[in-house]
Structure 1
Amino acid sequence: MALRPVQVNIKALDHAAVGRFWAEALGWQAHAAGATTYVGPAGDLVWPHPALVGIDVVPVPDPKPAVKNRVHLDLATTSAAHQAELVARLLALGATPADVGQGDVPWVVLADPEGNEFCVLEPRDVYRDTGPIAAVVVDCADPRAMARFWGEATDWAVGKLTDDMTVLRSAAGTGPYLELFRVPGPKTAPDRVHLDLLPYPGDDKEAEVARLHDLGAADLDVGQGDVPWTCLTDPEDHEFCVLALP
């Protein structure tokens, strides 16, 4: 048994506007999906996508607190000109420059219209086949321990593994990477960005949740009430959800 990451969940006051921003940023399409806005590749809605990780923008009543998200997206580019063009286009769409202490680096740190940080990377060969989202990046205290959890929780394979970072990716070699980076300081606020996982057809969702508990996940109550998905936290308190099969 294993779960597959199928989407990045982003909380927003105005889910439709933030969804449109991310659709334009990625060259994808925003779909009205009930009470949320789902962003995926252009064309008819395919969910879950067989190779890529989508974005689900979910409405919440409160604005983002003045603290850096511990989960963010890195966007891929193919050349220096592409990076410059993408940054300029994102600023025109409502992104703002963000200072998270990055110093003099070749990537550009921005925030979406509601303050969620993300990076526009300089061209890197490793991300040439990921699609527009190069990586989902998670700040953590212990990348090795987090690799054990996420490697067992999902069907993604652990690649690079050091004391400072861990990299996971779909065993099929498609879509973005999941990158776990060591950072100083504890988590101090709920994440506005998290991963949503989905069982495979024929697997039992509740059995998967029980397995995650055994791996160190904890139940999370965010006032969700009686819903078909299950809210959990990983061993370092990052929120994530296990969705019900469609």
Structure 2
Amino acid sequence: MTTRLVQISMKATDKSALGRFWADALGWTVTGDTPDETDVQPEGVTYPSPEAVRIDVLTVPVPKTVKNRVHLDLATTSTAHQAELVARLRDLGATPADVGQGDVPWTVLADPEGNEFCVLEPREIYRDTGPVAAVVVDCADPHAMARFWGEATDWTVHEVTDGHARLRSARAAGPYLEFISTPDVKTGLNRVHLDIRPYPGDDRAAEADRLRALGATDLDLGQGDVPWTVLADPEGNEFCVLTPL
């Protein structure tokens, strides 16, 4: 029994507009836009797939107020591509963001709802990930996070240091999941969180029990009777265990 990262969920005051932004930003498609959520994924890719981590945008009435602990890093193939992508994203509504990055070779932007993301300079490691190089999570202990998420999912741990950990689908496809050491303390609920899904034939409740044994804890966000389980990882980051698919 195991599970895998299938999507990230973003909260938004205007989910449809934010979904359209990310579809245009990544060259993906809005595949669903219901009163509850807007789904964005690559055209021609059957969800769930290791080739891409889908974006699921949810409506919340409260605007963003603090720096996100989860963000996307976008891949580029050349310095010219990086500059062109930054310009195109700004035309779509992204704005420059200062998170204390200083003089770095990547560009930090914020989407129309203020969610930070990075447009990376070309890096060989991300040459085959698609437009999303990595889903990045701030943390206090990359070793502990790699240990938990490496056991929680079937993703392979590629690198762990005191400052950084990197995992990727066992199929060596799609983006990386990375944990970056930061002194920032988590406050409130994450505006962007991970969603994981067991494989067909597995049992969600049994999988949730396995994750609790690894160090996850239950969270009551007022979700009521829903077909997913809300947990927190060892550093308190919320995530959802979806029904098997």
Q: Under a length normalisation based on structure 1, what TM-score does the superposition of the two structures give?
A: 0.96
Identity of aligned residues (%): 68
Distance of 2:222 and 2:14 partners within structure 1: 19
Distance of 1:96 and 1:202 partners within structure 2: 44
CA contact (8 A) 2:230 2:240 kept: yes
Q: Under a length normalisation based on structure 2, what TM-score does the superposition of the two structures give?
A: 0.97
- Per-residue CA deviations over 1:92-128 (Å, capped at 9, x if unaligned) read 1111100000000000000000000000000101000
Secondary structure of residue in 2 paired with 1:9: strand
Secondary structure of residue in 2 paired with 1:225: coil
Distance of 2:165 and 2:139 partners within structure 1: 10
Secondary structure of residue in 2 paired with 1:39: strand
Corresponding residue number in structure 2 for 1:222: 221
Matches within 5 A, 1:147-186: 147-186=146-185
Cα pair distance change 1:91/1:184, threshold 3 Å = same
Task: Give the CA deviation at 1:46.
Answer: 2.6
Task: Give the CA deviation at 1:147.
Answer: 0.9
Secondary structure of residue in 1 paired with 2:239: strand
Corresponding residue number in structure 2 for 1:9: 9
CA contact (8 A) 2:11 2:58 kept: yes
Moved over 6 A (4+): none
Q: Say whether 1:91 aligns with 2:63.
A: no
Distance of 1:142 and 1:245 partners within structure 2: 30
Corresponding residue number in structure 2 for 1:47: 47
Secondary structure of residue in 2 paired with 1:31: strand
Q: Say whether 1:206 aligns with 2:205.
A: yes
AA of the residue aligned to 1:185? D
AA of the residue aligned to 1:15? K
CA contact (8 A) 2:50 2:174 kept: no
Corresponding residue number in structure 1 for 2:232: 233
AA of the residue aligned to 2:207? E
CA contact (8 A) 2:75 2:131 kept: yes
Task: Give the CA deviation at 1:49.
Answer: 2.6
Corresponding residue number in structure 1 for 2:19: 19
Corresponding residue number in structure 1 for 2:140: 141
- Per-residue CA deviations over 1:130-189 (Å, capped at 9, x if unaligned) read 011000001100110111100000000111111111110011100000111111132112
Q: Say whether 1:37 aligns with 2:38.
A: yes
Distance of 1:81 and 1:50 partners within structure 2: 28
Distance of 1:165 and 1:189 partners within structure 2: 23
Distance of 1:146 and 1:237 partners within structure 2: 11
Give the number of aligned pairs. Answer: 244
Cα pair distance change 1:156/1:37, threshold 3 Å = same
AA of the residue aligned to 1:62? V
Distance of 1:162 and 1:108 partners within structure 2: 24
Distance of 1:36 and 1:185 partners within structure 2: 30
Secondary structure of residue in 2 paired with 1:201: coil
Task: Give the CA deviation at 1:245.
Answer: 2.5
AA of the residue aligned to 1:81? A
**Which 5+ residue runs of structure 2 have no aligned equivalent?**
none
Distance of 1:220 and 1:46 partners within structure 2: 30
Task: Give the CA deviation at 1:50.
Answer: 4.4
